[in-house]
Amino acid sequence: MISRIASFHNYQSVSNDLMRQQVKLQDNQDQLATGKRVLTSGDDPVSSIYIQNFRQQDKQLDQYIDSITLARNRQTRAEIAIDDAEQLIDSAKRKSMEMINGSLSDDDRTAHRQDLKGLYDNFMNLVNAKDESGNFLFSGTQSSKQPFYRDSALNVRYAGDSYHRTAQVAPAVEVQTSDPGDQVFMEIKNPFGDYQPEYELQDGSLLLMSQATNTNNADASSYAVNFNVDSNGQTQYELEQNGAIVSSGVFDPQTGIQFGTLSVTFEGEMMDGDRIVLDRQDTFNVFDAFKNGIDLSRESIFNASATAELHQVTEQFSAAFKHLNKARSEVGTRLTTLDRQESMHRDFKLVLNRSLGTMEDLDYSTAVIDMNENLLALQASQQAFSKTKELTLFNYI
């Protein structure tokens, strides 16, 4: 039995074959044009899955690097502001020490007071500094709100909050990107221990309190120490607790005054009638140190109490300098962490790109050979079809 093949079926079969050859050739040309071996998931289903995962990881790394850049810019600006604040604090400390000098004239003290005011003004500008985006550096999480306000009496109020911002710079790594201003400038450890002294000294007294500590944190009593010199020339003390005398005796400079959980030591030379009031205070703020220094500069150089309080201001500036130095070190540690994480991300990106290139990039020599083979196959099919389509029985009749 002789089967007959319709001319339409023959043409359709050949046309489909030519189309497949053209598609292969077009794929070869697209690969050569893009330099990529895998253009669609159909080219290599297994490789396309890995390629998609690699690209997602690469985009995630780019987001982390952008986050690191923003965090670094903000922390660098904060580090500069804190460093400048340290220098102003150090200058204020030196001005306060110079004002203790009894040889200064009233005009000299006035000049030092003006200098201290200028330092205070510059310091206020620093604590209200902004980053490159216009956000306040030391307002906690309320970056759009000015953190510190100063009134006409030179008292300062904090308007920010006590929280900090963080930035995720790796899947399991978050870095602090801000510091609340109250912790940086207003919660500085008291250099005198647990109490701040308030001096009521006689003229010529050189008495200073060194330390006053109380291991009982629940003790909120108010204390005061009175010194008297008896007829034998011995220095006697009386310790008051909430206005009542609770301890008295001969003062021993080696041991100071011990009462229960309270321990107080002194230095310098005391006069008959000297009195020191102890107010419980674990921390202080540097703004009060500036204000007190300016106020005390108006007092006479012969005022022993004012001189003692200037010593206190000097110690507070010294403690503030150390506190800011520690804060700047913490910022430096964060910057180091950011640099380390960015370096790790960029190294991982290189590994990802290398792996991506292994699966995705085109081997040009192999691709050119495949294209030439497909081109020859297409041309051969076209020539064969051109010759066979004109063959009919009528050519032999």
Q: What's 143's DSSP letter?
A: T
**Integer angstrom CA distances of residue 104 from 98, 120, 296, 313:** 8, 22, 14, 18
Single-letter amino acid code for the residue at 192: F
250 part of a folded domain:
yes
**Rounded to two decimals, what is the model's pTM?**
0.78
Tell me the DSSP string of 119-177. HHHHHHHHHT-B-TTS-BTTBTT-TTS--EEE-TTS-EEE-S-S---EEEEETTEEEE-
Do 324 and 250 fall into the same domain?
no
Q: Quick one: 124 and 273 in the same domain?
A: no
Who contacts 113 (Cβ-Cβ below 8 Å, separation ≥6)? 294, 297, 298
pLDDT digits (tens, 9 = 90+) for 336-353: 999 999 999 998 888 877
- Give the model's confidence band at 383: pLDDT under 50 very low, under 70 low, under 90 confident, else very high: low
Helix (H, G, I), strand (E, B) or coil at 32: helix
Question: Rounded to the nearest 10 degrees, what angle do helices 286-296 and 304-360 cross at?
Answer: 150
pLDDT of res. 348 = 84
CA 37 to chain centre: 45
Q: Do 184 and 323 fall within a single domain?
A: yes
- Final residue in a domain of this structure, among 281, 304, 326: 281
Q: How do residues 53-88 score in pLDDT, each as one tens digit?
A: 777 888 888 999 999 999 999 999 999 999 999 999
Q: CB of 148 within 8 A of CB of 158?
A: yes
Amino acid (one-letter) located at 224: A
Q: Domain with 205 in it: what CATH number? A: 2.60.40
Predicted confidence (pLDDT) per residue in 227-266, tens digit? 998 888 899 999 999 999 999 999 999 999 999 999 999 9
Domain at 140, CATH number:
1.20.1330.10
Closest CA to 214 of 196, 238, 234, 232: 196
Number of Cβ within 10 Å of residue 281's Cβ equals: 14
Same domain, 82 and 174: yes
Among 160-164, 243-247, 329-333, 349-353, whose mean pLDDT is lowest? 349-353
One domain, residues 172 and 319:
yes
Asked if residue 361 belongs to a domain, the reply is no
Give the residue-averaged pLDDT of 17-45. 59
Q: What is the pLDDT, as a whole number, of residue 384?
A: 59
In whole numbers, what is the pLDDT of the chain averaged over residues? 84
Residue where a domain stops, chosen among 257, 281, 305: 281
The token pair at 358 is 């292994």
Any domain includes 214: yes
Interval 167-182: pLDDT, tens = 999 888 899 998 999 9
Please, which pLDDT band fits residue 377 given cuts at 50, 70 and 90?
low
The verdict on 71 and 178 lying in the same domain is: yes
**149 and 177 together in one domain:** yes
Residue 1 clears pLDDT 50, i.e. is over it: no
Question: 């020490």: which residue's tokens?
Answer: 97
Are 82 and 139 contained in the same domain? yes
Q: Is residue 325 pLDDT above 90, yes or no?
A: yes
**Residue at 33 is within a domain:** no
State the pLDDT at residue 315. Answer: 95
Please give the C-alpha separations between residue 291 and each of 104, 124, 239, 317, 322, in angstroms, as whole numbers: 20, 12, 30, 12, 19
| Residue 66 maps to a domain | yes
pLDDT single digits (tens) 84-103 = 999 999 999 999 998 887 77
Q: For residue 65, tell me if it sits in a domain.
A: yes
Question: Is 23 a member of any domain?
Answer: no
Hey, which bits of the chain come out as E strands? 148-150, 156-158, 166-170, 173-176, 188-189, 195-200, 208-214, 223-229, 235-241, 244-250, 257-259, 262-267, 275-280, 283-284
The pLDDT of residue 129:
94
Domain containing 261: what range? Answer: 197-281
Supply the pLDDT for residue 312: 95
Task: Give the pLDDT mean for 209-234.
Answer: 92
**Is residue 3 pLDDT above 50, yes or no?**
no
Contact between residue 338 and residue 71 where contact means Cβ atoms under 8 Å apart: yes
Same domain flag for 114 and 235:
no
- In this structure, are 118 and 134 located in the same domain? yes
**Structure tokens, 192:** 């005198």
Domain finish residue from 281, 304, 330: 281
Shared domain check, 180 and 111:
yes
How many independent structural domains does the chain possess?
A: 2
Q: In whole angstroms, what is the distance from residue 302 CA to residue 204 CA?
A: 8
Q: Do 180 and 137 sit in the same domain of this protein?
A: yes
Domain membership of residue 249 (yes or no) is yes
Average the pLDDT over 119-130 and give the result. Answer: 95
